[in-house]
Structure 1
Amino acid sequence: MIKSGKDIIFASKLIREGKLVAFPTETVYGLGANGLDAKAVVGIFEAKQRPSFDPLILHIASADTLDTVFKKPINPLIYKLADKYWPGPLTIVSVKNKQIPDIVTAGLPTVAVRMPNHPMALKLIRQAGVPVAAPSANLFGRLSPTKAAHVRDQLRTIDYLLEGGQTNIGIESTIVAVADNRIEILRPGAITVSQLKIDFPDVEVVSSSTEKHIQAPGQLKSHYSPRKPFYLFDQLPDNLPDYAALLLFKPYEIPATAKSKVFLLSTNGDLLEGASKVFSVLHDLEADDSVEQIYAVKVNEEGVGAAIMDRLRKAAYRFTGATDEGEIEV
């Protein structure tokens, strides 16, 4: 049984000693270790059963420490992004400082870095005095944790769990790669392509094409999956069985023949609200013995809708093959 509480000083001491600490951020709970200690970082991979080819994110508490994680000279655009969005749900990828262990970056020459917007996370990082390597605090490929209870359910071998309530964004950070005057979206999140284009009109902003290799966390085809079969619908189906649950991101007129449990994630179609709830609801449905399968109706891939569909497709991949043709249509 892992120890849990709100003792940030104790948790930061554990980080310095090479131990593993789960902690809340504004996106999801992370599983942290000293990002400069290769042996400690190996512990993250072991606890999560995560493959070593999947890189991690380093968390810092101040943009003033960017030169400890990125190689100099640092692109001025990185500082502009940090000034605009940090602390917040944006992860920046650039060439790493040589002190960053290869295990953190899966051998890549670049490293992913962000500053979380959560008081417990920021205090933990400051007290630890090191960048904290932290993927989501769940078993590899499983649902991301948005509550401390989700961490306790999945990770039994870590050293400490900082309890900080439910996360308010509920999906992982946007990840961008920066080169010259160009921003490439490697993983969509709450900070959207359209928002970046508005805030940086003189910068080229592009969405990542399908890559032959992993450049950043969260780029695997199968990820964020519930233990029960999960399928996507293009539109609301006419027939819904009594052994299933249906997730909706906006109100629909439910057919009279529907017998599934229906979960409306936003009464007015607010996708940010829906995103903040989706992982938590999926965790609840995993534990519901009356639910054998889970369905969701797709959303428009604009704004945060792109991030939602990224997570839903990866959650469905191991059940359907994740191509649009392979997704369930009934």
Structure 2
Amino acid sequence: METKHWVVDKHQHNLESYPQIIEAAALLQANEVVGFPTETVYGLGANALSDDAVAKIYEAKGRPSDNPLIVHISTMGQLYKIAEDISEQAERLIEKFWPGPLTLVLKRKENAVSKKVTAGLETVAVRMPSHPVALALITASGLPLAAPSANLSGKPSPTLAKHVADDLTGKIAGILDGGPTGVGLESTVLDCSGEVPIILRPGGITKEQLESVCGVVEVDKAILTDNEAPKSPGMKYKHYAPTAPLTIVNGSQGFIQSLVKEKQNEGLKVGVLTTTERENKYEADRVISCGSREQLETVASRLYGVLRQFDESGVDVIFSESFPSEGIGQALMNRLTKAAGHRIITE
């Protein structure tokens, strides 16, 4: 399959009328699959109403079919066609955080979207992205778009159009290049189908921010421990992993350096994922800073790109510093732990 590539300036007005957007929207209307930017990561969009279109997402990504997809919308009218019994709490969260990196799990309307989107669940996950290119594409297509991250299943999520092209050229109809994404981690997924909202996946909107709007918010125990079955089927699969085995290290710079030396003595090329505060303190085959420890938002926004840089560098093993789990750090450590396959060493 030929994969078309369009470059779009997200700062232009009336983007939905631009030829690149119209061409991409026409492919979506024809039940093809298109990669597009959001404020979190690049998404892989298809008509959420069509079984055939949604099946192409799973096929392109190599994604397990019991892993539900998030539906992306551009208007509240689309939401009310998809979901029902929306709670007052959910309405307040929508008013505060939409458009933005918050996905709400709501009771779905009967036959409102393809059953392949919901993986047989009675709920549907919905969000309204804030990226102007994403909103323009959804508006131009006139469709709700099912859209997971635009990468091969299990690989680091894409934060650049190049990442999408590296993984999916020849597998999808097109890629809209709107430049780098912002948050760099996927949206927060909040289950609002019960009495107390439950975070199923930490992301760009923190627990503290959510609680400031709607009171008590719980966290799915599967996020905090390996011993619990996740409420969201997709959370049980390996995600975000670079090719080389990644290990998180809870320890000092000296301890990490000793681990590096040990592996180098075995003849292996070693990478270290660190921050600007320490990037000149390691002797390894590849040392990459993810941002500042004092500003974890910078680390979150660069994490996936750095994991892909390690792939390109050809290292055999990677050691990563650990980070505080407060605020955006909870989402950061969630993704890093999954990328490491829960391999953690403590000094």
Please report the TM-score for the alignment, with normalisation by the length of structure 1: 0.91
Aligned partners of 2:293 and 2:299 also within 8 Å? no
AA partner of residue 3 (structure 1): K
Match of 1:47 among 51, 55, 60: 60
Q: Note the C-alpha offset of 1:145.
A: 0.4
- What do the CA deviations read for 1:213-258 (whole angstroms, capped 9, x no partner)? 54264x12521111111111012313224621211246238657x3
Partner of 1:205: 217
1:91 equivalenced with 2:110 (yes/no): no
Whole-Å Cα distance in 1 between the matches of residues 273 and 31 of structure 2?
Answer: 40
Partner of 1:158: 172
- Which structure 1 segments of 5+ residues have no match? none
Match of 2:284 among 256, 259, 272: 259
- Which structure 2 segments of 5+ residues have no match? 8-19, 223-227
Aligned pair count reads: 317
Q: 1:238 to 1:268 in 2, by over 3 A?
A: closer
RMSD (CA atoms): 1.8
Aligned partners of 1:63 and 1:82 also within 8 Å? no
Q: 1:216 to 1:175 in 2, by over 3 A?
A: farther
Q: Note the C-alpha offset of 1:179.
A: 3.8
Whole-Å Cα distance in 2 between the matches of residues 294 and 109 of structure 1?
Answer: 40
AA partner of residue 138 (structure 1): N
Partner of 1:119: 132
Q: How does 1:1-330 map to 2 (within 5 A)?
A: 1-6=2-7, 7-71=20-84, 73-98=85-110, 99-155=112-168, 156-179=170-193, 181-200=195-214, 203-210=215-222, 211-215=228-232, 217=234, 219-235=235-251, 236=253, 237-239=256-258, 240-241=260-261, 243-249=269-275, 251-252=277-278, 258-267=283-292, 269-289=294-314, 291-317=315-341, 322=342, 326-329=343-346
Please report the TM-score for the alignment, with normalisation by the length of structure 2: 0.86
- What do the CA deviations read for 1:102-150 (whole angstroms, capped 9, x no partner)? 1101111111100111011000001111110000001111110000110
Q: Note the C-alpha offset of 1:262.
A: 2.2
Which of the two has greater helix per residue? 2
Q: 1:51 to 1:267 in 2, by over 3 A?
A: closer
Aligned partners of 2:93 and 2:210 also within 8 Å? no
Whole-Å Cα distance in 2 between the matches of residues 188 and 310 of structure 1?
Answer: 7
Aligned partners of 1:56 and 1:216 also within 8 Å? no
Whole-Å Cα distance in 2 between the matches of residues 255 and 132 of structure 1?
Answer: 46
Partner of 2:12: none
AA partner of residue 313 (structure 1): T
Whole-Å Cα distance in 2 between the matches of residues 180 and 133 of structure 1?
Answer: 23
AA partner of residue 271 (structure 2): A
Aligned partners of 1:2 and 1:160 also within 8 Å? yes
Q: 1:329 to 1:221 in 2, by over 3 A?
A: farther
* Identical counterparts, % of pairs: 39
Whole-Å Cα distance in 1 between the matches of residues 300 and 317 of structure 2?
Answer: 20
Aligned partners of 1:54 and 1:214 also within 8 Å? no
Runs of 4+ in structure 1 over 6 Å off:
none
